[in-house]
Amino acid sequence: MPLPSDLQIDVSKFDPTNSNPKTEVFNKKLIHIAKDGPRWYEVGAAKYRQMRWNGETPLPKPVVIESGVNGTIPSRDPGRELTYRLFNPEKGEVKGIYMHIHGGGWVLQSEAYQDGLLKYMADNTGLAVVSIGYRLAPEDPWPAGAEDCYDFAEYLVEHGKERFGGELMFTGGESAGGHFAALVSLYLLKSKPNFAFRGLLLHFGCFDLSGFLPMVDHHERGLVIDHDIMKRYIDVLLPNTTIEQRRHPSISPFFADLRGLKLPPALFTCGTEDPLLDDTVFMSAKWMMWGNEAVVRIYNGAPHGFIMFPPGTIDAVQEGLDASTDFVKEKLG
């Protein structure tokens, strides 16, 4: 009888020969259209943001849904406010709040770029989904964006019920948003020790900003993001910092000492054609090593950002949405 392992991995989830042909066609299309447009650092972050909003990049123009509500809350700085975009569930009362943190490499996008995802989560969970705006690099490097996330989270802990009709229960986001959400959960353990999240939704997050885990170096397809894009994101987010400084747990949650901490249950999702796959696998393993609950869902062949594409684009989109809503409903009880 073979010696059993204390860790188990379903290899079929990572085997590229098991990728759905529809997904492979989609990936090749993404690689092709990316060749037709500039990268953000070639034109400048501010200009690229406007180009993306105008539909002048290879990716489609963001869809604006009229039921979304824009607003502001105070920040820690006098006279400066934090923006948000809110979607309430179409039916029923608000059960709680999901604080969503958008992706974009800490450089691009805003709370206004993912209305479809926000509305879907609100309508299918009964939560008020509040996507927060935070300061972006390179104009506002570290720790500006993180501090905005902390300020927003503390505001929701203190004023969520009166302002949005429910208590803060979940946070999460995609890519850079997943990174910030993990940091928010660790931050609130200290700043609000009597508060506890019901759960985190950490979609293809980057959890080690000190360098790169192997998948970033070995992923050569140029699919959505690659080594060059990641390096430039992190360089403008963390200018004039050393590798050792970037390993501080307040920057890279992968290096946090999680022993003895009661972390929220977390859903980790990632596609196998994502350079940040190792970040998801390794961070979720650390989450579980110290006695915390982690649900890990791996989508064979799915690229970075897959959950942001319209449902039906590839099977992984709906599967990722279903995992997200099922996780939330389970934690709501």
Q: What is the mean pLDDT of the chain?
A: 95
Q: Stretch 23-39: mean pLDDT, rounded?
A: 90
Give the pLDDT band of residue 98 (cuts 50, 70, 90): very high
Pairs from 118-122 (Cβ < 8 Å, separation ≥ 24): 118/68, 118/85, 118/87, 119/65, 119/67, 119/68, 119/87, 120/311, 120/321, 121/87, 121/324, 121/325, 121/328, 122/87, 122/88, 122/89, 122/90, 122/98
- Give me the pLDDT at residue 219, please: 85
> Where are the domains positioned within the chain?
19-332
Pick the CATH number of 19-332 from 3.40.630.10, 3.40.50.1820, 3.30.70.1060, 3.20.20.140: 3.40.50.1820
pLDDT over threshold 90, residue 274 = yes
- Give me the pLDDT at residue 37, please: 82
Q: Stretch 88-115: mean pLDDT, rounded?
A: 97
- Give me the pLDDT at residue 149, please: 98
- Give me the pLDDT at residue 213, please: 87
Angle at which helices 315-332 and 21-34 cross, to 10°: 110
Give the pLDDT band of residue 269 (cuts 50, 70, 90): very high
Q: Stretch 224-242: mean pLDDT, rounded?
A: 95
- Give me the pLDDT at residue 3, please: 93
What is the percent of the chain where pLDDT is above 70?
A: 100
Give the pLDDT band of residue 58 (cuts 50, 70, 90): confident
Rounded Cα–Cα distance for residues 256 and 286 (Å): 10
- Give me the pLDDT at residue 69, please: 98
Parallel/antiparallel/unpaired status of strands 97-101 and 266-273: unpaired
| Predicted confidence (pLDDT) per residue in 277-297, tens digit | 999 999 999 999 999 999 999
| Predicted confidence (pLDDT) per residue in 298-328, tens digit | 999 999 999 999 999 999 999 999 999 999 9
Rounded Cα–Cα distance for residues 16 and 3 (Å): 27
Give the pLDDT band of residue 36 (cuts 50, 70, 90): confident
- Give me the pLDDT at residue 323, please: 98
| Predicted confidence (pLDDT) per residue in 126-181, tens digit | 999 999 999 999 999 999 999 999 999 999 999 999 999 999 999 999 999 999 99
